[in-house]
Amino acid sequence: MGVCRAARNIGEFLADTVGEAVAEVVLGLLACLLLGCVVLLAYLSWSFDPRLTVAGAGFLSLLLAHGAWRTFRAPPNGRRRGLAALAATVFGAAAATALFLLLYATDCGCL
């Protein structure tokens, strides 16, 4: 009885360990793929038109700054509308992507 329980616990431990290792590899590959896509997008946009790339980066920076301001500054009635909601959503997505890349792309061998 004790041997069966010990074997089952060892099997569950091995399954969890292998699952975590596979998940770590998959997340690392996704981070490298995302980082490669960002670099490719920047390269292609710069080769297409450098002035438009700088203007787009400036617009994105303003949108992210407005989103951060609206996210960390509570609206009076608790709701966001229009551009404020869009900017807060874009800021949240950019922050989540940056955190994901910070955690998983640092171990990427492609850098």
Q: Please state at what angle helix 83-104 crosses helix 2-48, rounded to 10 degrees.
A: 120
Mean pLDDT of the chain: 83
Range of 26's domain? 2-107
Contact criterion met (CB below 8 Å) for 110 and 31: no
The set of residues, in sequence order, having a beta carbon less than 8 Å from that of 16 and lying 6+ positions away, is: none
Is the pTM for the entire model greater than 0.95? no
pLDDT digits (tens, 9 = 90+) for 59-94: 989 988 988 888 887 666 766 678 878 888 888 899
Counted domains in the chain: 1
Confidence (pLDDT) at 108: 65
